[in-house]
Amino acid sequence: MEAALSELENALGHGFANRELLVRALTHRSLANEQAANEQALENGKEEAAGAGDNERLEFLGDAVLGLVVAEALFGAHPEWQEGELTRVRAQLVSRQHMAEVATAIGLGNHLRLSRGEDRGGLRHKSTVLSNTMEAVMAALFLDGGLEPVRAFARRWVMGEAAEQLVQELRSGAALGNYKSALQEHVQAARAGTPVYKVKSESGPDHRKRFLVEVRLKTDEREPGKPLARGMGSTKKQAEQDAARRALDRLTAAAAKAGASAAGAEEKEQAEP
């Protein structure tokens, strides 16, 4: 367990002075309940529980701390933004979906402490459990080291590419975090087919994975056609969004160029006697 905790501490960028905080942040209520039942079975009132309690109270604190740190970073980085813009981007960055992606990127699921039954049932891979545990870990970081380790982690994993992508979407007027849907709507309107995403490669250690994803257009039952674009990210979903964004940019630029050419040809035709 010590080696596993050290691996997680490396991913978090913080060595805990009180590791019991980290252990508790990783402990799902199913394990805490299982341990309590085992203690009861011993029929010894003087026995203390073997576990450290569950992480639900830490989730509450971690959610608040994470929201503060992300709000602080956005407030300082974008003095030109109004409240609405700040709120929208913060909501995306601290969303359950994004925090589950962050948890996956650092391999948090491997460190969850679950009951045997829930572990066999695949609970450690569920996005809700991952996002909740990530919030609990943020609380443990805060209680052990203050805001600075939380700020450092947020800059590296919560903000990073995701924040920059959201900024670009906000500036372009696109729906935040929704390039895949935008690409789907674009190609359906043009009756050009259906976007299909495929992971082309993975690189880096488990806690710092990099994914390369390719998007192609499938028009019938045959293999998808030529690649539209490729994207990269620290999770498959981020890489897919990046690929969709690049593909949408390419298709939009091509449509604009075609429209300009058609307009030019029409003006030339009208100008001829």
pLDDT in tens, the chain (273 residues): 788 899 999 999 999 999 999 999 999 888 766 666 555 444 454 433 344 588 999 999 999 999 999 999 999 999 988 887 788 788 889 988 889 999 999 999 999 998 887 777 778 888 889 999 999 999 999 999 999 999 999 999 999 888 877 777 666 655 555 778 778 877 877 777 889 999 999 988 877 788 999 999 887 666 667 788 999 888 888 889 889 888 988 887 877 777 666 556 666 666 565
Assigned token pair, 47 = 């026995």
Instruction: For strands 210-218 and 194-203, give the pairing.
Output: antiparallel
Give me the sign of the Cα torsion angle 123, 124, 130, 133.
Answer: positive
Q: What pLDDT was estimated at residue 106?
A: 94
Question: From the candidates 59, 101, 118, 135, which is the catalytic residue?
Answer: 135
Question: From the candidates 54, 59, 63, 242, which is the catalytic residue?
Answer: 63
Q: What pLDDT was estimated at residue 97?
A: 84
Bridge partner residues of 201 (DSSP): 212
Burial 26-53 (b: 16+ CB within 10 A, else e): bbbebbbebbeeebeeeeeeeeeeebbb
Select from 83, 61, 233 the least CA-distant residue to 163: 233
Q: What is the DSSP string of 95-115?
A: SHHHHHHHHHHTTGGGG-B--
Residues in the chain: 273
Structural domains of the chain, with CATH: 2-172 (1.10.1520.10), 179-271 (3.30.160.20)
Q: What pLDDT was estimated at residue 51?
A: 42
Select from 154, 177, 11 the least CA-distant residue to 77: 154
Q: What pLDDT was estimated at residue 37?
A: 53
Dist CA 223 CA 19 (whole Å):
51
Q: Rounded to whole angstroms, what are the CA distances from 41 to 34, 36, 86, 118?
A: 11, 9, 52, 20
Dist CA 18 CA 211 (whole Å):
34
Letter for the amino acid at 6?
Answer: S
63 is catalytic: yes
Select from 221, 270, 214 the least CA-distant residue to 244: 214
Q: What pLDDT was estimated at residue 204?
A: 84
Dist CA 41 CA 59 (whole Å):
29
Select from 200, 171, 215, 11 the least CA-distant residue to 81: 171
135 is catalytic: yes
